[in-house]
Chain A
Amino acid sequence: MDIIADVLERNGLLFAFVVVGALMMISGWLSKTLTRGRLQGSAIAIMLGLVLAYFGGINTGGEAGMADIAIFSGLGLMGGAMLRDFAIVATAYGVDLQEIKKAGAAGVLALLAGIVVSFVVGAAVAAAFGYTDPESMATIGSGAATYIVGPVTGTAVGASSEVIALSVAAGLIKAVVVMVGTPMIAPFIGLNNPKSAMAYGGLMGTTSGVAGGLAATDKRLVPYGAMTATFYTGLGCLLGPSIFYFALVGLFG
């Protein structure tokens, strides 16, 4: 057993290919037999991945889901930011620049609206739960934008570590639910063309959520959604600790 585990650990990335391949096979089969193809195999595979990540996290107490278990550490490289962004860029190959230009104005507006709405909703929820100081409201509002903006804002404005942890949790919940929920809400919000995908990416902002959610909906929409989502975190980090925080100080400070 030790020898097997040793080989798998030393060749982590290769074992990750095998694991994901098996996951996709099982998901494809579940999709055909249980849902008659109504729920795409990739959507089921993403859900299974999240369930595995949950148990990985519970068992190890680590932050990287399954990747914290030594033999599955290759999943961390395979699903890490470098290869993920590399593959996202690759999906843009053959994209129609005309479509992007046509949706440019909508995309920019979606970005601004998405960030402001997340800030406001997050800050309001924080206040409703008794976190009424501007620092906590700004931090949790930023966390509702993405789990990266939360800690960036929290550190900048000097929020407590408990509040920063909550802001990360809020962003993670959003990312996870966007991954699983996008295919389900897509028909109701008209998410079936490049322009609405660009609006969706800008409004949601979570790159991992949008990347997973659109993959499970229609892979052809991925580059358009990712195009706007990629600006979101940077813009959020810019606005969170500045304009948004000062506005809260002015209103409630």
Chain B
Amino acid sequence: MVLYGVAALALCMLVGMLIGDVLGVAGGVDANVGGVGFAMILLVVATDRLRKRGLFPKPTEQGVLFWSALYIPIVIAMAATQNVAEAIGGGPMAAIAGLGALAAGAALVPVISRIGGQSEPLPAMTEAEKAEA
């Protein structure tokens, strides 16, 4: 049943968000600390176990994969609802502060990626994966 997949996904997300909020309260901040990350780990671990026991059949899987496939359209909707006007209206100081932080961070990516040995690039996308994107 497709809904089982959607429900499992939603449950993982809710539990993850709860952990993130509790961590935020414990740290004394009004923010969710890592909720999405915990939800992802829950989903990966839980579905892996269920799959091994044969309790996560193809139709159930479809419920998760549907939302994964909707990811890019959702991000496009997110882009269309950003406060771009205010970002641009902030003037040169805001722009330089934001861009400076971005440039400094990006420059560190190769340095930090080297920790614990180089990683291989992902294989090129197959035609099927490209069509999905």
Contacts and interface: CB of A to CB of B under 8 A. Distances in A.
Interface in B68-86: 68, 70-86
A105 B116 contact: yes
A87 B6 CA distance: 11
A65 interface: yes
Contact of A195 (B77, B106, B119): B119
A64 B43 CA distance: 31
Interface residues of B, number: 84
A134 interface: no
Interface residues of A, number: 124
Contact of B99 (A19, A117, A173, A221): A173
Contacts of A71: none
A138 interface: no
Interface in B20-44: 20, 23-24, 27-37, 39-41, 43-44
Given A90-B43, A230-B37, A234-B23, 20 more contacts: A16-B77, A24-B76, A42-B76, A49-B79, A54-B85, A78-B77, A88-B36, A89-B39, A143-B98, A152-B29, A165-B90, A175-B87, A177-B98, A185-B106, A194-B122, A195-B119, A215-B72, A219-B72, A234-B33, A234-B34
Interface of A: 16-17, 19-21, 23-24, 40-42, 45-47, 49-54, 56-58, 63-67, 72, 75-76, 78-80, 83-95, 97, 100, 102-103, 105-106, 109-110, 113-114, 117-118, 121-122, 124-126, 129, 131, 140-141, 143-145, 148, 152, 165-179, 181, 185, 189-196, 199-200, 202-205, 207-208, 211-212, 215, 218-223, 226-228, 230-231, 233-235, 237-238
